[in-house]
Chains A and B, each alone.
Chain A
Amino acid sequence: MTREEVFERLNKVFQEVFDDETIKVNDSTTSEDIDDWDSFEHINLIVAVEEEFAIKIPMGKVVTMKNVGEMADIILQLGN
């Protein structure tokens, strides 16, 4: 899985969870950039990402994740 593929699939997850087809995420996207991305929706986002990539993100990493770029790194790390 390349980083580009991860971003492509991540983008779809973001669009579904926030019900907004115009969303485009990149390395530096954070919760500041998406209106509905509060701490509650963050939970759903993580669950949806875990399902999409068939992974389980450990607590330590959920806590430290700062932007979508780091999220992609974690997915690549866990997925391989």
Chain B
Amino acid sequence: MDLVTPDIGLIFWTTVSFAILYFILAKFAWKPILGAVNEREKSIKDALSAAEIAKEEMASLKADNEKILNEAKLQRESLLKEAREIRSRIIADAESEAIEKANKLIESAKTAIENEKSAAMKELNNTVVDLSLNIAEKLLSKELDNKEKQQENIQEILENTKLN
């Protein structure tokens, strides 16, 4: 029974030893160690949450960028569309203007031609009149020499006179 009978002396010393050990270690070992460990854990936690926040910020920044980019794209798109419209409108305008101008030109050319034509006709008339008068005058001056001569004269005058 010796083995399983607790000895009073050892009980006393174990109690005292454990109590002393507890107070020494609690004050000089566990408190600083656990304090350091907790502080480190806290700083790690803080760093992690800060990283999380940074990540979120990054994500929102990225989303913003995306949005801006999309907007820019849309704007470019609309600008291009507008430009294209303007271009086609300009072209159309230019075309119609050109046609109009051409028409005008043609019209004026037509009138000019008409004028020229009537002037030429007038001139031709005058020339013909002059010519006729000339012929008549010459005929009258060389009056009745002979018939043959007369014929010859007329032929000569006609040859000399260019109908222009």
User: Real complex partners, A and B?
Assistant: no
Residues on B close to A: CB < 8 A? none
Residues on A close to B: CB < 8 A? none
